[in-house]
A and B are shown apart, each in its own frame.
Chain A
Amino acid sequence: MTTAETAEKPTTHSVRAQRKAKARISEGKRQERKLGWLLCAPAAFVMLAVTAYPILYSVWLSFQRFDLKFPDQREFIGLGNYWTVLSNDYWWTAFGITMLITVVTVAVELVLGMALAWIMFRTLVGRGLVRTAALIPYGIVTVVAAFSWRFAWTPETGYLAGVFGEGAPLTERASSLAIIMLAEIWKTTPFMALLLMAGLALVPDDLLKAASMDGATGWQRFTKVMLPVMKPAILVALLFRTLDAFRVFDNIYVLTAGANNTSSVSMLAYNNLIRGLNLGIGSTMSVLIFIAVAIIAFIFVKLFGTAAPGSEEGGRR
């Protein structure tokens, strides 16, 4: 027997052993994966029951002429309802109002929320008190807050009604919209601030020190160092708030009930579906809102790109 042969023997043996070990591992892995699916199943089933079913049902309803006031006229009309809604001025007015409220409130909230986050993050004295105080509006039920705003702007009784001279601000379109946006901003800025504060904590102290050594002013440190590092947190906050704002309902319902063309799309869907009992048109609007929300989410997720938390190459260090 040559030395080469003796050297070869243990090698083949070890390769076989390795293969065997590999097979054993994959067997265990398979079991584990099966168990994983089993453990997920109940939750997945409940999710499907409470979300997938209603969504599919409203899609089904949106393809039908179905008004509970005339149940006999129920019939399948394909995309007819969509044509009706999308060629209707009320829908486009409500859509415009919704977009306006979304863009303005989210923009203002981002700026205010950033300031508030900075204050909460940097406070040295009474930190707990400051944070609690800042979060109070978010802790109040939206409807309750909306009612308190309505009373505040009601002539004669409200403490804010006289601020901009005589008149009833909630009876005019422009001032009503302003008040609705104010109520939205007041209510949800703390939420924005909370998400942004988590982002602030991501910025290492050394990075800011390095930037000031490199010659950056306070503003440059903020825009060139902090904001890029915070980008994932900012995008998450914007996504949450945009989706939320697009579905604005409570404040409008309480403050104006949609009077003077202040309805949002959600408000319009509610009026058609619940008040008007027109299941076909109402469902169509719901589906359109769903699609709009999906598009917004899609755009944001595209924007996230590599900035999405956890997807950074090599991980965050």
Chain B
Amino acid sequence: MADIVLDKVTKAFPDGTLAVQEFNLEIADGEFVILVGPSGCGKSTTLNMIAGLEDISSGELRIDGQRVNDKAPRDRDIAMVFQSYALYPNMTVRENMAFPLKLAKLSKEEIDRKVDEAAKVLELTALLDRKPANLSGGQRQRVAMGRAIVRSPKAFLMDEPLSNLDAKLRVQMRTVVSRLQKRLGTTTVYVTHDQTEAMTLGDRVVIMRAGAIQQVGEPQELYDNPRNLFVAGFIGSPSMNFLPATVSEGRLRTSLGDFPLGDRMRQQVSDSGGDLIVGIRPEHFEDASLIEDSIRQRGAEFEATADLVESMGSDKYVYFTVEGEKASAAELEELAADAGGGDLPSGGSNLVCRFSAESRVKEGDTARVWVNLDKIHLFDPSDGRNVTLHEGKSSGVVS
């Protein structure tokens, strides 16, 4: 077990592209860290550099306080789980799991003992004599995990290990991975493009974009206090609603209506010039008829026609179309492209709101919607910065 330190680690490919730029991160012993971001953001490259499968162009990588930049993967004592599982097709499950131990020249009894132990943990005992071709996706995934844990390495690296599983199995395996990591207490770096996996699994999440770290923090921290537009849009499902806004006469003018601004915010906003982007998470809206008077004045109200109502049982997702221009910023375009929804047809902005299940709103109704002003984020479209952050905490627009 060990801590992993990445000190200004950079990866430049021969053609000049910078896959990872000055990556700084300290991963504590036993920590579960997730690298997440859209495809091509450099997360896998970073993982491969930790593994030793890619050279580090500049900067330093230390495992257990030791510089390992020039060490071969086999000398780093870390195990990796691949998206394709990379099981040796000619070996049985037992042989696959024993392979790293055999290479480490352990005695036969010790190998058998360790393999049996790992197989028991992962419920693979009945499958030990099978070949990978005769296993299901989930079983293969478990074998890949087993091969990683048998030799008790200093750290686990996981490169999208659950991406090839179907949705239901992925959720199950997520808990398996999480429990296993907690039980073994081994430092783990986990790469994924799925923000749900990132939120549910990690002690800390590193959000990457175009080779650079956007924000590092605990999942809830990233969710509540996104440092910029990219983080705000990437974390959360359904994702945050973004609308263009302007400030005039001390009020925030949006296509949902005018919102009051607090003194501190008024000062903040005047620095950043006229245009802004408002970001509101779906759960910070509510059917106005269900709001108690005591908290009603913490928010503002507006009217809109519901396009679609999805009842999830526990709550309702209500979709509105808001007239006017869409919010535009480089980060938002990138997020839309990553989500594959970049070319959805829409006049105006789509607004997703999460209402309580008691809400009586139906499709086609004009609903009165309440929005919690304490939870609104404001972003500067020029650099994506969250201007509502105050000492790292988001404090709403009326502060």
Binding site for B on A (CB under 8 A): 204, 206-207, 209-217, 220, 224-225, 228-229, 231, 312-317
* A209-B80, A216-B74 known; A229 vs B90 contact (CB < 8 Å): yes
Closest residue of chain A to B135, judged by CB?
A314
Complexed CA–CA distance, A224 and B134 (Å): 21
Could you say which residues of chain A place their CB within 8 Å of the CB of B84?
A: 204, 206
Could you say which residues of chain A place their CB within 8 Å of the CB of B82?
A: 206, 209-210
The reply on B169 being an interface residue by CB < 8 A is: no
The reply on B51 being an interface residue by CB < 8 A is: yes
Could you say which residues of chain B place their CB within 8 Å of the CB of A231?
A: 90
Closest residue of chain B to A314, judged by CB?
B133
Query: Would you call A312 and B80 a contact (CB within 8 A)?
Result: no
Closest residue of chain A to B14, judged by CB?
A124
Could you say which residues of chain A place their CB within 8 Å of the CB of B121?
A: none
* A204-B84, A209-B80 known; A214 vs B100 contact (CB < 8 Å): yes
Query: Would you call A209 and B90 a contact (CB within 8 A)?
Result: no
Query: Would you call A215 and B134 a contact (CB within 8 A)?
Result: no
**From B51, B52, B90, B104, residue with most partner A Cβ within 10 Å:** B90
Q: How far is the CB of A17 from chain B (nearest CB, A)?
A: 33
- For chain B residues 88-146, which have a beta carbon within 8 Å of chain A? 88-91, 99-100, 103-104, 131, 133-134
Query: Would you call B99 and A214 a contact (CB within 8 A)?
Result: yes
Query: Would you call A212 and B53 a contact (CB within 8 A)?
Result: yes
| Residue from A206, A212, A224, A316 within 8 A of B74 (CB atoms) | A212
Closest residue of chain A to B84, judged by CB?
A206
- For chain B residues 44-65, which have a beta carbon within 8 Å of chain A? 51-53
Complexed CA–CA distance, A29 and B243 (Å): 61
Query: Would you call B88 and A207 a contact (CB within 8 A)?
Result: yes
* A206-B86, A220-B103 known; A212 vs B133 contact (CB < 8 Å): no
The reply on B375 being an interface residue by CB < 8 A is: no
Interface of A is mostly: helix
Q: Can you list 28 contacts pairing A with B, beta carbon distance less than 8 Å?
A: A204-B84, A206-B84, A206-B86, A209-B73, A209-B80, A210-B86, A210-B147, A212-B74, A213-B51, A213-B78, A213-B80, A214-B79, A214-B100, A214-B103, A214-B147, A215-B74, A215-B100, A216-B74, A216-B103, A217-B74, A224-B99, A225-B88, A228-B89, A228-B90, A229-B88, A314-B133, A316-B89, A316-B133
Closest residue of chain B to A209, judged by CB?
B53
Complexed CA–CA distance, A305 and B354 (Å): 61
Q: How far is the CB of A230 from chain B (nearest CB, A)?
A: 10
Query: Would you call B103 and A215 a contact (CB within 8 A)?
Result: yes
Complexed CA–CA distance, A21 and B99 (Å): 52
Could you say which residues of chain A place their CB within 8 Å of the CB of B78?
A: 213
Closest residue of chain A to B88, judged by CB?
A225
Could you say which residues of chain A place their CB within 8 Å of the CB of B104?
A: 215
Query: Would you call A210 and B80 a contact (CB within 8 A)?
Result: yes
Query: Would you call B134 and A313 a contact (CB within 8 A)?
Result: yes
Complexed CA–CA distance, A90 and B87 (Å): 53
With A215-B103, A216-B74 given, can you name 18 additional A-B contacts, CB distance below 8 Å?
Answer: A204-B84, A204-B86, A206-B84, A207-B86, A207-B88, A210-B82, A210-B86, A210-B147, A211-B99, A213-B53, A213-B79, A214-B74, A214-B147, A228-B90, A228-B91, A313-B133, A316-B89, A317-B89
The reply on B72 being an interface residue by CB < 8 A is: yes
Closest 7 CB pairs of A and B: A228-B90, A210-B86, A214-B100, A206-B86, A314-B133, A215-B103, A215-B74
Could you say which residues of chain A place their CB within 8 Å of the CB of B51?
A: 209, 213
Could you say which residues of chain B place their CB within 8 Å of the CB of A228?
A: 88-91
